[in-house]
Structure 1
Amino acid sequence: MKVIGKHITVDMYGCSFERLDDLEFVKTAMHTAVREANMTLLDFSYYKFEPQGLTALALLAESHMSIHTYPELGYAAVDVFTCGDHGRPDKAVSILKNFLKPEKTKITNIKRGDFGSESDMKPKIKVSMTPLRRVRTTGARVLSFLSRAK
């Protein structure tokens, strides 16, 4: 089966408290990322937590983009998933990094729908005949020993 989509998860560390807690700033960053990465925005939803933090979700024709911020930790969890070849999730991540300016990032790329070859999907069962041979050989030795004892 071929790859259905690209899924990038990004942990951003050392971001500014003010940027992570500013809903309008995060909305602007996400809208810019969607536009510049050649994606189609269908809907945008968000929730601002008290005393700080927010979650924003861009529903895309290609799939979705989300950000969960933890300003008190200087941390943002970003998720960009696109199907097909139209969108550029790597470009979206780059733009979000330019907006949020993390000191450190951890990026994970996932190929969605990639099961490899058909033989890779079959369960691997390893059967060893060695224990059965030992039993047969041991039994033959015991019989030989007993027949010689007479």
Structure 2
Amino acid sequence: MYENQGQLFPYTGVSRDLNCPQMKCAGRHCLVDFWGARYLQDPEQIETALRNSAAAANAVVLHVHVHRFGGAGGVTGVALLAESHISVHTWPEYDYAAFDVFLCHEADPTAAVEVLKTVFQPRQEQVREIRRGEIFPRQGEVIPRSHASTAKAESPIGPRGPRTNRH
């Protein structure tokens, strides 16, 4: 028997597929690329931007960590949220920053992205949104209850069985 889909992924929306009018997903993930942005080496500005973008999205900040690499290096930062995370990696030598804004529940990743655009003022940007963990009730698979209750973070279980995270 499968886990109740409403409990597994309770976030519903309207599908673009007219044959499946209801969908459920784990969250919305915005992949944000900025070129020619400000503050690529400024950890204080980046931390403030992470906090302000989380607030704009109605997300709860649990912890923020920002690290500046030495010399002409960039900054890596993450805001750990009750609703997932917002992260950034900057490459000043390429005049580039990559943000991930992954939020669930009622938090709005597009509101967070707008704050990031305002703060960093990129000359060029690309924003892509992905609905993570979409489940189509008539077609999709979900994690069987027996697997969901025994899954460990080190060994995630998906619809096709165990998998490993390899980069």
* Match of residue 79 from structure 2: 58
Q: Distance in 1 between matches of 2:93 and 2:140?
A: 44
**TM, length-normalised to structure 1:** 0.73
| Count of residues in correspondence between the two structures | 118
Question: Which structure carries more relative contact order (alpha carbon 8 Å, separation 6+)?
Answer: 1
**Which structure: larger Rg?**
1
* Match of residue 47 from structure 2: 27
Unaligned runs of 5+ in 1: 122-150
Structure 1 segment 46-85 matched on structure 2, within 5 A: 46-51=66-71, 52-85=73-106
Q: Distance in 1 between matches of 2:41 and 2:30?
A: 23
Q: Deviations over 1:13-46 (max 9, x none)?
A: 1113xx1101111111111111122110001112
Structure 1 segment 1-150 matched on structure 2, within 5 A: 2-16=24-38, 19-51=39-71, 52-85=73-106, 87-119=107-139
Q: Give the aligned CA root-mean-square deviation in angstroms.
A: 1.4
Moved more, 39-48 or 109-118: 109-118
- What's the % identity of the aligned pairs? 38
Say which SS state the counterpart of residue 15 (structure 1) adopts: coil
Which amino acid in structure 2 is aligned with residue 115 of structure 1? I
Unaligned runs of 5+ in 2: 6-23, 142-167
Q: Which of structure 1's runs of 4+ aligned residues deviate more than 2 A?
A: 115-121
